[in-house]
Amino acid sequence: MDGPDENLSVFISDLHVGGVNKKLAYTRPRLEKVVNEILAMRPLPKRVICFGDIGLSYGLAADYAVSRPILQRIIDAGIDLHLTMGNHDRRSSFLKYWPEYGQNAFVPGRFTQVVSLGFADLVLLDTLKGTDDRAENDMGPVEGTIDPAQLAWFEKFISEAKRPFFVGSHQFRDLYIEGAKPIARAAKSAFFAGWLYGHDHSWCPDIAVASWGKHLICPTLALPSTGLWGDIGYVVFRTDADGATAELVQSDFYFQTPTAHAVRPRFWASRVQENQGKSMRFVFEK
């Protein structure tokens, strides 16, 4: 069997797999279904990247105890797995089951990474604002942040970039630095190709204004959830010499749970049908 395709990635987000709340236990088989489909891909992707909210609501240790064996199957298949934090995660609980993330960090205390996507790189930021000392049943703040140490590292990376790069984070719409969107900082580099993020549970290609004065807009893409609510699925991402193509694989849509209504709203099926075959093209300007 041929090895993984260096230019092929799968993006997943908002797993929300819980080890305690039985009412939301449906998220576990949804994630298992996604993993099964990834492992059945030919060729296999070189990497799977998770954009946060691995934990269900509070980032309990039990959440990671349940999700680690499912995600471990990706690693065991020879596929690289990269994870970062969402607002529902808790770093200390996560590290109990993923201790390797506490080693060799670019920024101490943050799970910031630079991941090769083949013809481009992905800067995967850790935008979790909530602290580990919050109460066990405290979700913490919804909005994200880039702390000063991570910001300094990020700006250095931007200034030294020598090839196309994307930025990935959990939050985007709720992410600010000193009152401004961080996309303006990324767009200082002509190599910046776009921003990818989770949190919204919705396949949503869009553009963001990086600079009115310099007439800069940048492409952005919000990712679906693997199973909690909203667009349910994942994104297959392929880079080439000229850019990258993101393709949506969607299996369902529901709000807030699959059984929230006695009669399934017609819009749910319509949304899934409408999104079949959706894709987004990113181009490299330099």
3 state SS for the chain: CCCCEEEEEEEECCCCECCCCHHHCCHHHHHHHHHHHHHCCCCCEEEEEECCCCECCCCCHHHHHHHHHHHHHHHHCCCEEEECCCCCCCHHHHHHHCHHHHCCCCCCCCCCEEEECCCCEEEECCCCCCCCCCCCCCCCCCCECCCHHHHHHHHHHHHHCCCCEEEEECCCCCECECCECCHHHHCCCCCEEEEEECCCCCCEEEEEEEECCCCEEEEEEECCECCCCEEEEEEEEEECCCEEEEEEEEEEEECCCCCCCCCCCHHHHHHHHHHCCCEEEEECCC
pLDDT the model gives residue 58:
97
Closest Cα partner for 85 from 63, 57, 111? 111
Rounded to an integer, the average pLDDT of 16-43 is: 97
Rounded to an integer, the average pLDDT of 72-94 is: 97
pLDDT the model gives residue 179:
73
pLDDT over threshold 70, residue 1: no
pLDDT over threshold 90, residue 103: no
Rounded to an integer, the average pLDDT of 186-208 is: 97
Rounded to an integer, the average pLDDT of 250-274 is: 98
**CATH code 3.60.21.10 for 5-283:** yes
Collapse the DSSP code of 233 into the 3-class scheme (helix H, G, I; strand E, B; otherwise coil) and give the result: strand
Report phi then psi at 202, rounded to 5: -150, 130
Q: Where are the domains of the chain?
A: 5-283
Q: Hunting for tokens 């943050």 — which residue is that?
A: 110
pLDDT over threshold 60, residue 218: yes
Which pLDDT band, with edges at 50, 70 and 90, does 260 fall under? very high
pLDDT over threshold 70, residue 174: yes
Give the CA distances from residue 99 to residues 20, 62, 67, 85, 112, in Å, rounded to whole numbers and listed in that order. Answer: 22, 15, 14, 14, 15
pLDDT over threshold 60, residue 224: yes
pLDDT over threshold 80, residue 180: no
Which pLDDT band, with edges at 50, 70 and 90, does 181 fall under? confident
The percent of the chain in helix, strand and coil, each rounded to the nearest 5, is: 25, 30, 45
Q: Hunting for tokens 């990086």 — which residue is that?
A: 210
pTM score, whole prediction: 0.97
Q: Strand order of the sheet with strand 216-222?
A: 113-116, 121-124, 165-169, 192-197, 216-222, 204-211
Distance (Å, rounded) from C-alpha 99 to C-alpha 12? 21
